[in-house]
């Protein structure tokens, strides 16, 4: 006799159970602890169930952050809309990015400091235009160049340079915590000021 098909509510509960197991493993032991078998054991499901619900481990891990990332993307867009002047918008975005990394440290580490184990394979490349922060940065740069307030140059390169600057300010004190470095909070104002000066005419 065939097993009855799971209801949408039952599927939602299974999905949440798998996500909760993965999140707990990640918090307790880091990304190295994440394997289909470990998550399945903790969630009380089969390995096949994980692949059935999420496609692969990368899909499972990304699902842990999707909703919160969407909220942050909306916050970046709302902020950008409040600043008509390109340089002011640039400074506001860079500051907001640093504050996001400080205030939502677990989300930042999980999504933007994720070191992919080789077992997870190489993901398909996504366009930067799919994401709010780099898109908004680039738009501010292009508008600033058109208004002669931002240096000339490839907007894609300038975008990555600015993003690297704020990301480094967040990542460096975490990755090199054995060194006596200033915190990301202490570095927010000077980093934003320095990065803005680098691109300002």
What is residue 176's predicted lDDT score, i.e. its pLDDT?
87
pLDDT tens-digit readout, 108-137: 877 777 666 666 667 678 788 889 999 999
Q: Give me the mean pLDDT over the 29-35 stretch.
A: 76
pLDDT, tens digit (0-9, with 9 covering 90-100), for 146-182: 999 999 999 999 999 999 999 999 999 988 889 899 9
The average confidence (pLDDT) of the chain is: 88
Q: CATH code at 40? A: 1.10.10.60
Instruction: Tell whether 155 and 190 lie within a shared domain.
Output: yes
Q: For residue 174, what is the domain's CATH number?
A: 1.10.357.10
52 and 82 together in one domain? no
Between 187 and 19, whose confidence is greater? Answer: 187
In this structure, the answer to whether residues 92 and 128 fall within a common structural domain is: yes
**Domain shared by 44 and 128, yes or no:** no
Same domain? For 42 and 76 the reply is no
User: Residues 45-76: pLDDT tens digits?
Assistant: 999 998 888 888 878 877 777 777 888 999 99
Domain-located, residue 102? yes
Residues 143 and 179 in one domain: yes
Range among 17-26, 48-57, 90-99 rated most confident = 90-99
What's the structural domain count of the chain? 2
Residue with the bigger pLDDT between 106 and 37: it is 37
What mean pLDDT do residues 10-15 have? 86
Task: Give a yes or no: residue 152 inside a domain.
Answer: yes
Q: Is 177 helix (H, G, I), strand (E, B) or coil?
A: coil
Q: How far apart are CA 147 and CA 149, in angstroms?
A: 6
Q: Answer yes or no: is 3 within a domain.
A: no
Q: Which of 63, 89, 107 is the last residue of a domain?
A: 63
Kindly state whether residue 146 falls inside one of the protein's structural domains: yes
If asked whether residues 27 and 59 sit together in one domain, one would say yes
Q: What's this model's pTM, rounded to 2 decimal places?
A: 0.73
31 against 188, higher pLDDT: 188
Residue 1 lies in a domain: no
Are the C-beta atoms of residues 139 and 158 closer than 8 Å to each other? no
44 and 101, same domain (yes or no): no
Does residue 92 surpass a pLDDT of 60? yes
Q: Are residues 95 and 122 in the same domain?
A: yes
Specify whether the CB–CB gap between 136 and 80 falls below 8 A.
yes
The predicted pLDDT at position 90 comes to: 97
Q: Report which secondary-structure segment, H or E, holds 33.
A: none
Please tell me the distance from the alpha carbon of residue 20 to that of residue 10, in angstroms, as a whole number.
15
Over 90: is that where the pLDDT of 77 sits?
A: yes
Domain extent, residue 36, equals: 8-63
Question: What are the residues whose beta carbons fall under 8 Å from the beta carbon of 113, sequence distance 6 or more?
Answer: 170, 171, 174
The reply to whether 126 falls in a domain is: yes
Distance CA 74, CA 143 (A): 21
Q: What is the residue-wise DSSP string for 34-59?
A: --HHHHHHHHTS-HHHHHHHHSSHHH
% of the chain beyond a pLDDT of 90: 51
Confidence check: pLDDT of 2 > 60: no
Q: Is residue 194 part of a domain?
A: yes
Q: Would residue 44 be called left, alpha or beta, if left means φ above 0 and alpha means ψ between -120 and 50 degrees? A: left
Distance CA 29, CA 58 (A): 17
């Amino acid at each position: 006799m065939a097993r009855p098909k799971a209801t949408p509510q039952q599927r939602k509960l299974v999905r949440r159970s798998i996500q909760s197991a993965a999140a707990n493993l990640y918090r307790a032991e880091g990304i190295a602890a994440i394997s289909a078998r470990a998550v399945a054991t903790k969630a009380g499901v089969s390995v096949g169930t994980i692949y059935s619900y999420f496609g692969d481990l990368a899909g499972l891990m990304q699902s842990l952050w999707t909703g919160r990332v969407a909220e942050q993307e909306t916050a970046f867009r709302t902020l950008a809309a409040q600043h008509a002047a390109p340089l002011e918008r640039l400074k506001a975005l860079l500051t907001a990015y640093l504050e996001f990394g400080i205030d939502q440290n677990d989300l930042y580490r999980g999504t933007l400091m994720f070191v992919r184990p080789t077992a997870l394979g190489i993901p398909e490349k996504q366009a930067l235009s799919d994401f709010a922060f780099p898109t908004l940065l680039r738009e501010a740069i292009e508008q600033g160049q058109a208004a002669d307030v931002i240096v000339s140059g490839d907007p894609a390169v300038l975008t990555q340079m600015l993003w690297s600057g704020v990301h480094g300010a967040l990542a460096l004190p975490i990755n090199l915590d054995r060194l006596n470095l200033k915190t990301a909070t202490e570095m927010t104002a000077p980093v934003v000021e320095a990065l803005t000066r680098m691109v300002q005419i």
